[in-house]
Amino acid sequence: MKQKPSFPAKVDGLSLKKAQLAKGSTQFRSSNKVSALDSFATLASGAGLDSTKVRESMVQKLADQGVQDEMLLKAFSTIERHKFIDTALANQAYEDTSLPIGFGQTISKPNVIARMIELLRQGKNLMITGKLSRVLEIGTGCGYQAAILGQVLKEVYSIERIQGLYEKAKQNLRPMRLPNIHLILGDGMLGFAQGAPYAGIISAAGGENIPDAWLDQLAVGGRLVAPVANDKGSQVLVVIDKMENSYKRSYLEPVNFVPLRSGLA
């Protein structure tokens, strides 16, 4: 499919003070003894609400759970997750939970997104201290993970097979003006050959096998992170590093993603 990637995106970054990344640094006080999340929930009726405190609390939890990539933590502090989900679910936006985004799809848990992106940035040719080069995301969804990726990568190609979600992601990302994110409507199982080779590929859906197209489009020295079905029928996270003449596969913890499907919807 010959398609020119649509639009896009530099978010006005919120600086994350080092103190906010230190354990125990994110403490919130209220004269009414109301938590930051509760306060946020009472205001969750529009796009203008201030989610700074609950967002920083989420970042602190990610750090406590073992996420060490400071650039990635800053990205989670910058991008407002509640703007990618329905307003009715805004009070859950900064909890470590997946949420429905329509069309039978979900937005992944912040911890899972952080885990996968951190693994991606630890690849042989991908320096954790700097921004990676071109990366392909399979399954744009509502655009949240693409927005996070856009903060830690030089260039992101993100492909979505469901037109309704593709349009929703464009709408969500447009105000952020992220020029390094390119959205594509297409069959993710085919990858996006026009942008290859990729330093990294990350998938938000899991199938029985990793498509050959993804491996072909991955650069030598590149890394792929995706869920894949195991012999018991459940999913595990797999990391594939592409060598000159071979692949190194590492199977990690169990995960639960939507199924990988072909074609457009």
Token output for 40: 């946020």
Which residues lie below 8 Å from residue 24, measured CB to CB, with a gap of 6+? none
The CA–CA distances, whole Å, from 116 to 145, 195, 218, 245 equal: 10, 21, 17, 25
The CA–CA distances, whole Å, from 19 to 25, 44, 52, 79 equal: 6, 28, 15, 19
- The β-bridge partners of 251 are 238
Q: Which helix (H) or strand (E) holds 214?
A: helix 212-217
Instruction: Identify the active-site residue in 77, 98, 108, 203.
Output: 108
Q: Which helix (H) or strand (E) holds 111?
A: helix 110-120
Active site residue 57: no
Annotated active-site positions, please?
A: 108
